[in-house]
């Protein structure tokens, strides 16, 4: 027979549960404060709503630029200058082709693959290789001749590879204008030695693209090197 509990005990437990829930909610809000601020600023600026996704235990928020009115000086008489690569992409996009064929026309998969392996060798070793799926995602990692599927890697390694992937993409599009890569307390599952090596990766990527990091633990990024630090207190 279940033990009977007095109303006072039940009330006390209810208050403790409410207090715990409130503390947890406050912690989540504080941890994600940087991202929430950016969402508010984008909303005020008229940007499209951000998209949310999850990968390797991390939450990714993708922000899109605001598109204003067309500049009056731009007329139909302007002659478009396109590179051979852009021409190939436009030709492929105008025909019935698969996503993989469109990637091949852009040369995107090969460029992302190359950048990922360049950055990854700073963290792992010179034998580091990855396999990129047709969906343009990391399918597996190989070091010292041993290949492991992405989903079978440790949480910390998946987190590092996911960040390296995003940095590689940002470095590629930066040459065409690009957008800043915004990180909110990334690398929470990474051990101290890997943090040191990932600092070198961030520093290398920051030479080619803009990286903005929001964090409540600034010591986590001590190995990034020269960086502009702004306190939001």
Structure confidence by residue, pLDDT tens digits, 210-227: 899 988 888 888 888 788
181-200 confidence digits (pLDDT tens): 888 888 888 889 999 999 99
pLDDT at residue 188, rounded to an integer? 84
What is the value of pTM for the model shown?
0.59
9-50 confidence digits (pLDDT tens): 555 555 554 444 444 444 444 445 666 777 787 788 888 887
Reply yes or no on whether the pLDDT at 130 is more than 90.
Answer: yes
pLDDT at residue 73, rounded to an integer? 47
Give, in order, the Cα–Cα distances in Å from 158 to each of 46, 98, 189: 34, 28, 9
pLDDT at residue 147, rounded to an integer? 96
Which percentage of the chain shows pLDDT scores above 90? Answer: 26
Write phi, then psi, for 146 (nearest 5 degrees).
Answer: -105, 120
pLDDT at residue 84, rounded to an integer? 60
Structure-model confidence comparison of residues 75 and 143, the more confident one: 143
pLDDT at residue 27, rounded to an integer? 42
68-98 confidence digits (pLDDT tens): 554 444 444 444 555 565 565 556 555 655 5
Reply yes or no on whether the pLDDT at 157 is more than 90.
Answer: yes
* Domains, in order of start, for the chain: 34-62+82-224 (3.40.50.300)
**Structural contact between residues 197 and 122, judged by C-beta atoms closer than 8 angstroms:** yes
Give, in order, the Cα–Cα distances in Å from 230 to each of 75, 204, 207: 42, 21, 19
């Amino acid at each position: 027979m279940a033990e009977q509990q007095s109303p006072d005990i039940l009330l006390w437990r209810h208050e403790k549960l409410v207090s715990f829930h409130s503390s947890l909610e406050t912690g989540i809000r504080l941890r994600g404060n940087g991202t929430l601020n950016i969402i508010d600023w984008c909303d005020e600026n008229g940007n499209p709503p951000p998209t949310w996704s999850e990968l390797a235990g991390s939450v990714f928020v993708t922000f899109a630029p605001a598109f204003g009115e067309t500049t009056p000086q731009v007329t139909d008489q302007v002659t478009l200058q396109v590179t051979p690569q852009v021409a190939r992409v436009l030709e492929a996009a105008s025909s019935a082709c698969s996503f993989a064929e469109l990637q091949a026309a852009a040369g995107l998969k090969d460029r992302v693959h190359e950048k990922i392996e360049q950055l990854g060798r700073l963290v792992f070793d010179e034998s580091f290789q990855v396999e990129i799926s047709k969906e343009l995602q990391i399918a597996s990692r190989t070091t010292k001749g041993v290949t492991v599927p992405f989903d079978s890697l440790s949480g910390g390694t998946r987190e590092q590879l996911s960040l390296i992937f995003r940095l590689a993409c940002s470095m590629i599009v930066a040459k065409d204008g690009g957008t800043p890569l915004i990180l909110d307390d990334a690398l929470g599952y990474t051990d101290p030695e890997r943090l040191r090596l990932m600092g070198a990766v961030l520093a290398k990527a920051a030479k080619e693209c803009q990286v903005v990091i929001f964090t409540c633990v600034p010591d986590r990024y001590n190995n990034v090197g020269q960086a502009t630090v702004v306190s939001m207190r």
